[in-house]
Structures are given as C-alpha cells and as structure tokens.
Amino acid sequence: MSSHREAPGISKDPVADSTDLYAFTSPDLPDTVTLIANYIPLEGPDGGPNFYNFGDDVLYEITVTNGGSVADAITYQFKFTTEYADPNTFLYNTGPITSLTSASWNVRQFYSVTRIKQGRAEVLASKLTCPPVNVGIRSTPNYGALARAAVHPLDGGWVFAGQRREGFYVDLGSIFDLGALRPFQELHLIPLPAVGGIDSTKHLNVHTIAIQIPKTSLTRNGEMPTDPASADSVIGVYTTASRRKSTVLDNGGATDVGPWVQVSRLGMPLVNEVIIPIGKKDFWNSTKPSNDAQFVANYAHPELAGLLPVLYPGVFPHLAAYTAARVDLEAILLTGIPSGIVTGFQNSTGATPADLLRLNMAIPPAKSPNINGILGGDLAGFPNGRRVFDDVATIEIRAVAGVTIPLVDHSYTLDGAAGLVSDFSAAQFSGGAVPGNGRYIDHFPYLGTPLNGFDTPS
C-alpha cells in the first residue's frame, strides 16, 4: 500500500504490484531477521467468488545485499501454482475449510522457494501450502489455525505466503487530493476546517510473502552481527515481480514464453509513488537498484518539496527558499545514513545510489518501540529497515518538509510549519491507526489475521 498503483503499467497488474516491503530484527527471535514483501493493493475482504491469489505466471523475488554493498548477494525466489479440486464448480469452497487438506476447499495454491547465492540456485522447499483466504465465518470458522498451519520451516527459519491484514496506514483520500493533510488543511491553498485524518486502509487485506532467516545466513562473513559501526552488520533489501516476455492468448487460456522481465520493484516505501515522475515510473520498475544513479536528481530536488510551499502558501518560507540539493534525502533514501549523522547508528551501503531498504542488524529490537522510528529516537525503526507498524508516511512527509535538513546542513532552521509537521502524530494524520486493533501480532508473520468477507463493514 505504501507503493500501491504507483506506476501506470503496474496499476493494471495488481498480482505483480509490490505494495510494501519490511525488514527488521525479529523482536521475539532477535538472532533472526524477518523480511516481508506484500502484493495486491487495496484488497477487499469480500472479493469472491474468485478470491485474490498470487499469480501463477509471476516470479516473486526478495533480494538481499550485504557487507555495505549494493550488489545482489542472496535472492529468494517464490513461484506459485494453483490447483482446483473440482473444476466443475464455480465455488472457492463447497463447505467449511477446517484444515489445509479439507476436501471442501476447491481452489488451493502451492509454492516453491529457491535461494540463489554466489550464482548457485538451490531449491529450499517445494509444494508448500498457502492458507485459504479468509472467506467468512462459515467457510473459514477457525482462520487462525489455518494460517498457523501454513507457517513452514525453511533453512533454519520460517516461511509463510498467504493473505494477511493490511499493515500500512495512511489517509489516501486526503493526500492525493492536492496533497492535503486534514489536520492542517485550514492552511491549504483550498482551505477546509482542520479535522483528524482517516485511515483509508483499515478494512483491507493484502497478500504476504514472509521469511524469517538467521542473521548468520545473511551476513557476508557468515557471522552474527554485533557491531553497529561495521559494514558487515548492514544489509539492503528489495523485492521484485517479473513476467515472461511474451504471452500468447488462445482458446480462453494463455501461454507465457521467453525470459523473465521485471515489471515491479520496491525498496524504500513511497519512492516510485512520490519521487519518480510519471514518465519514468514504469521504466524505474524495470531497472535494478544498482542503476539508480540516473534518478538522483529526483531525490536531490523532489517535486513534493517544491509543491508544499505552493499548496500551503506562506507556511513553508524556509523550505521555499532552500535551493540546495537535498543531500539529507539522498542519504536516507539512496545510500544509507553514514556514521556521525545519528549518534550510535549507521546503515550505509557505500557511495553508489540504490533504492534499498537498509537494515543494521546489530541494532537490537526496541524495548519501547516508537512508530516514528529514528525521528522518534528509536534506532530499531524506519529508516533502519522497516517494521510493520512504523508510520512511514508521516516520517517521509516530515523529511520532505525539511525536518531532516538540519542533520546535514546546520545553517538550516525549521520554520513554524515545518516544526508543526515534525510534531504531528499518526493519530492526527491517519485517524488513530496505531499498532494494535488486530492489525499486528507479536510473532511471525507479524501482520494480523485478515478480515473476512462476511464481517466487511458497511
């Protein structure tokens, strides 16, 4: 959802549309890292009779870089296959689904996991079962048990692929209406009374690919990362979806042929959504992060930073006058934060610009997490990786509004509005959508039980 429908091409291909990527040290198993790649945006729970599934014709990948580099080191590939127990019925299920082997479950999906490391591909697991979608109280009466049964062991850790509750929260309706923030919309170019934000995604689900991996499997030297200052403690993560180069349609079916072609990618949240211009969005989706030097100008002079003074006249005078390159955003989004900027922290991957979600694995989980991450004094949170509950929309809007400029340009001081934006809370911006209320759980895969269609609110 933080990258939903972000490019013209991929907006027409939801099963290949990567919506969110998460990477964090597992709070309950701190010797492991959890990586989560979500697909299929704006997924309504009542989407039958052909409920949402991963694409059998899509190659999903999660790629990890390590050792302070942006070069691919480890890639996990996921391929899905759908099977019909009875192709002569239109129903997803013909009775209650009480287990992953229930005869009444008609539309089943399985997947394989392949790891590519040092050029060698190894199949780690095959024909793993996805859980069904959460159809309703009659069809999936004990959904929690079905989901738990679909958590499979994998290479010293765990893997899950299936439907979960949408974890990302944001006021979509307001932000895409000329960049309005409801708590401050009385200051907008087209003013309205200030009100609390609306959580646009609280009634939606998503399809999740999640893996929990020992940290020693991700480091370049195979050792447990313990020194936050070491490059060996930092990994970069991105997810992609690819399709075959050609599709032949015939007699109601399709045959896919040719090499895989990347059609979607995601590292840091909201980048293709609000940093990359519309004429380059589909091209950006087709490229590798290591080639992102060609997009640096869009980070150095982001369009949204220029629009804020226009949309909020007189509110951002210092931001309007600031014409220097936004090296703060380049560091946060493209190279990682170097040592010396934030006390006790770095997640740099070197000088090569690349859109990666960077995680310093030597930073332990926070005892009292702050949803504003590093801006809230919590070094275990975004942009040090990303936890499922981190308020990335608020953090990135604050950064674009100038809050992070003083980190690298000590001559810059925040004006009143930028200071105001620096203080606004998730409860104001997102209608109170803070961790809890069923959106999250405290164990793998950390996203909560998906909503079912029968309970969909009016």
pLDDT of res. 433: 43
C-alpha 37/C-alpha 153 separation (Å) is 18
Q: What is the pLDDT of residue 373?
A: 94
Which residue bears the tokens 């997803």?
A: 92
**What is the pLDDT, as a whole number, of residue 418?**
54
- All residue ranges of the chain with pLDDT < 70 are 1, 415-436, 457-458
All structural domains of the chain with their residue ranges: 10-453
Question: Are the C-beta atoms of 238 and 355 separated by less than 8 Å?
Answer: yes
HSE at residue 74, side-chain half, CA atoms within 13 A, is: 19
Tell me the Cα Rg of the chain. 22
pLDDT value of position 434 = 53
pLDDT of amino acid 422: 53
Distance CA 47, CA 89 (A): 17
**Angle at Cα 291 formed by Cα 385 and Cα 159, nearest 5°?**
40
Q: Which of 84, 127, 82 is nearest to 109 (CA)?
A: 82
Instruction: Give pTM, 2 decimals.
Output: 0.96
CA 27 centroid distance within chain: 18
Residue by residue, DSSP assigns 22-76 as EEEE-SSSTTEEEEEEEEEEEE-TT--SS-----TTEEEEEEEEETT--S--EEE
Nearest to 270 by CA among 262, 283, 255, 281: 281
Peptide bond into 445 cis (omega under 30): yes
Q: Tell me if 17 sits within 8 A of 7, measured CB to CB.
A: no
pLDDT of residue 251: 83
pLDDT of residue 432: 41
